[in-house]
Amino acid sequence: MAQQGMPIVSTEESNVPAAGSQVGLETRHMFINMGPSHPAMHGIVQMVTQLDGEIVVGVDVEIGYLHRCFEKESERGQYNTVIPYTDRLNYVSPLINNFGYCLAVERLLDIEVTERCQYIRTIMCEISRITDHLTCVGASAMELGAFTVFLYMLKAREWLYELVEAVSGARLTISYGRVGGVKADLPKDFAECTRHALEETRKVLLECDSLLTRNRIFMDRMQGTGVVTKERALSYGITGPFLRGSGVALDVRKAQPYFAYDKIKFDVPTGRHGDNYDRYLVRMEEMEQSMRIVEQALVQIPGGPLNIDYEGNVIPADVMVDEAKMGRTAGMKSPQVHVKPDPTLWGSTRGFHERVNAPEKRAVLPAKEDTYGNIEGLMNHFKLIMIGHGIKPPIGEYYSAVEGANGELGFYVVSDGSDRPYRVRVRPPCFTIMSAIGEILTGDTIADIVPTFGSVNMIGGELDR
């Protein structure tokens, strides 16, 4: 194998003379190695391209540079300990991975989360989908020279990451999902902050649309390149925006509704030509549809405001500690008023804990005030945490799929009746696209590899799981 970027001349003679060559002269193909040390290959994909001039006549795609052992590691711990590993699959939209895995285990347990939890999962999935598409479109535009679009879209992604951080406490590796619910309820001012972030994001998308969509250079690089017909896409098992760009309106949220998607109106955009340009347009429209879903869910989400005490106020733990350090403890103790060291111990979280988690003691950890306040809650907590106990689905297997940012994200979970998964298998959406990428690139020029590979939106943690 040649060094990165160094051509190798084959010794095989071609039976067909190249254009402009004289009959009888020997013609040879050139092999150029792209990756893994290549900006467009992300350090984990290698493509050995066979070229006739600048035309790609064959591609050997090599993956496996970032094998994470996700599926084997999932067999080592309990069901809830798999959740942090799911964050590292498609780490650009980790919330969808969290909820997809939790949904598979919940169906294996035959439990249903609360209606408020379904709406919370729907909202956070769509915010995650927008951040993923912003990254994909922005990075693809940057690789074609439109660096301004990349900066604008990352600015918009930052606003959405702030929403994710407000809900989960983290930006990327969030571990927000739980079997039977979610870690915590939405912040009090979440709806207002979300509407503002979406309003600003729309402005960014409108500006990026004016910079790209009718830009002659961008259109020339994207139109007619990376073409895949709907028949070939379906034969490879391709899903998501890559399939919808070829004209197939297949979306798991519509075909097999889950969470609150059956209660919300949205459209599934499709393309006509199956090229890179159509896939770009599909992703741009999907971001608008995701914002439409979030706005409807914020209006429809059931449940009232966060619980307050009988005096109408809540003392956060950090405020109470600071006050105690200064000696300002008057009023904290009284024969009629209990000390409130922490909202969870006081009981102020039980209400929204019940709203966002299924009432299943065999799967859902109790509220902290129950864990610390009564023996039943403490026993329930330990039974779910201790090795050899924990969540124990009945013997069986279940495959559950959600609509990831790149297509159908499926989790196949097998239970042997113990507290550890016997088998966890992931169906990553970008894996099937990568299996077809060699055929899709054949016939295009070597310069077309970059926009086509960018439209795959290949994520290493998901591909080499």
Which runs of E-coded beta strand occur in 148-203? 177-178, 181-182
User: CA angle, 214 as apex, 449 and 275 as ends, to 5°?
Assistant: 35
Q: What pLDDT shows up at residue 348? A: 52
Q: What pLDDT shows up at residue 19? A: 52
Q: What pLDDT shows up at residue 380? A: 83
Q: What pLDDT shows up at residue 226? A: 94
Residues 428, 255: Cα–Cα separation, whole Å: 18
Kindly report the CATH number that applies to the domain delimited by 70-304+393-463. 1.10.645.10
Q: What pLDDT shows up at residue 354? A: 74
Query: What single-letter amino acid sits at 92?
Result: V
Q: What pLDDT shows up at residue 55? A: 94
Question: pTM surpassing 0.75?
Answer: yes
User: Where in the sequence of the chain do the CATH 1.10.645.10 domains occur?
Assistant: 70-304+393-463
Q: What pLDDT shows up at residue 370? A: 78
What DSSP state is assigned to residue 186?
A: P
Q: What pLDDT shows up at residue 374? A: 78
Residue-averaged pLDDT of the chain:
84
Nearest Cα neighbor of 430 from 240, 179, 262 is 240
Nearest Cα neighbor of 208 from 300, 257, 142 is 142
Residues 278, 166: Cα–Cα separation, whole Å: 34
Question: Rg of the chain's alpha carbons, rounded to an integer?
Answer: 26
Q: CA 345, 346, 348, 352 torsion: positive or negative?
A: positive
CB neighbourhood size of 193 (10 A): 15
Q: What pLDDT shows up at residue 387? A: 77
Which residue stretches of 357-398 are H helix? 368-373, 375-385
User: CA angle, 234 as apex, 228 and 235 as ends, to 5°?
Assistant: 95
pLDDT averaged per 10 residues in sequence order, the chain, 465 residues: 44 48 73 86 89 93 88 90 92 94 92 89 96 96 94 96 92 89 87 96 96 95 94 95 95 95 96 95 97 96 45 44 53 41 52 74 80 80 80 92 95 93 94 93 94 92 87
What DSSP state is assigned to residue 310?
A: T
Residues 133, 125: Cα–Cα separation, whole Å: 12
Residues 148, 39: Cα–Cα separation, whole Å: 18
Nearest Cα neighbor of 120 from 342, 317, 353 is 353
- Residue 51's SS3 state is strand
